[in-house]
Structure 1
Amino acid sequence: MTPYSLAFYVDVIATGTVLGVRPTSSPDHVTEALGPGFAENSFDDLTMCRDYGLAEFFWDRACADQPWSGHHFTLQVHRLAEGNRALAGETLRARYGRFAPRLRFGKLQHLLQRRGIPLLEIPELPANAPYYRTFWQPGSQAAVSVVGTYGEYTTPDKLRVGDVYSIQAPMTAEEVERRTWAPGAP
């Protein structure tokens, strides 16, 4: 993996943004930053997702005549393991270069630690344990999902134990607390 694409992931986790775009940003602001190359899905005119391949942004609203309110974004890092590196999109590739098919969590965590950005392991949702592990950055509210063991969606030919599956923001302190006190949490 090039240092530039690693810098992208470090930037996202350090800031909780994608190219400066926050999870709460408007659809227009996201398009300004990431470009017009997206697929859009709306559900009941109350939720919307724009899928840029690697990055997905989500919005919702109370009723159809209200403006969209940003909810969260997810970097679907696992999609790069399918072999289509173009999923990173032109805008991200122009700024960060080539994206490798896998992102090793140990390498990412080491770079974050060198910058003084801690990641705290938090309990995984019961439905995802033991297949995934989740690490949280309290300042940016970014969460990193890492392959913990092989399962239906994590096979050795695609992802390895210790590969990053996805990165999401925000994960609030309240969500972390709910996971910590949930029945069956470690």
Structure 2
Amino acid sequence: MTPHSLAFYLDVVTSGTVLGAQPTDQPDRVTGILGKDFAENRSGRHHLWRDYGLAEFFWQRESGNGPWAGHHFTLQVHRLAHGGKVVNGEILSRYGRFARRLRFGKLQRLLANRGTALREIPPGPGQDPCYRLFWNPVSWTCVTVIAAKERYRTPDDLQVGDVYSITAPMTPEEVAWRAAR
């Protein structure tokens, strides 16, 4: 993996943003940052998400013609294992090429070197045993790591210890709820 792509992940986990796009930003602002190369999906009149390849941003609104409120973003890191054009052009131009896998141990060490410690969210009774969750309480970012290899859930090119996804925000209330459920 190039140092540049590692820098991208470090920036996202420490800032809780993608190139400065916050999870709460309006769709036009995110598109202004990540560009117009996206697939748009809607679920009824109240949910919208834009898929920029590696990054997906999600919005919701109370009424069918009301303003969109940013809900969260997810970096679908597991998609890199399939190859092809996954990384958005804006991210690619700033950080360079990306490897097909991101080892959590390496990410965690580099974050610790920057003074960022991730806390593991204790698995609650209903948590999927195939994944472990690690949380940055400063940026409210969650890193999902493959904990068990299951053929129907894990791409063949990924292994235990690989990062599956990175999501923000994950509030302290959600962390408590996940640990308790």
TM-score of the pair, normalised by structure 2: 0.96
Residue identity opposite 1:102 in structure 2: R
Identity across the alignment (%): 57
SS in structure 1 of the partner of residue 101 of structure 2: coil
Residue identity opposite 2:113 in structure 1: R
Offset of residue 125 of structure 1: 5.8
Distance 2:26 2:125 in 1: 33
The Cα RMSD (Å) is 1.1
Residue identity opposite 1:114 in structure 2: N
Distance 2:24 2:125 in 1: 28
- Aligned partner of 1:106 in structure 2 is 105
Question: Tell me, which stretches of 5 or more residues in structure 2 are unaligned?
Answer: none
Distance 1:174 1:97 in 2: 36
- Aligned partner of 1:14 in structure 2 is 14
- Aligned partner of 2:61 in structure 1 is 61
Residue identity opposite 1:50 in structure 2: R
Distance 1:126 1:143 in 2: 19
Distance 1:22 1:80 in 2: 22
Taking a change above 3 Å as real, the CA distance of residues 158 and 46 of structure 1, as seen in their structure-2 partners, is: same
User: Which stretches of structure 1, 4 residues or more, deviate above 4 A after TM superposition?
Assistant: 125-128
Does structure 2 retain, via aligned residues, the 8 Å contact 1:124–1:132? no
Question: Tell me, which stretches of 5 or more residues in structure 1 are unaligned?
Answer: none
SS in structure 2 of the partner of residue 88 of structure 1: coil
1:57-102 residue CA offsets vs partner (Å, 9 max, x unmatched): 0000001121100000000000000112x21111111000001000
Distance 1:6 1:35 in 2: 22
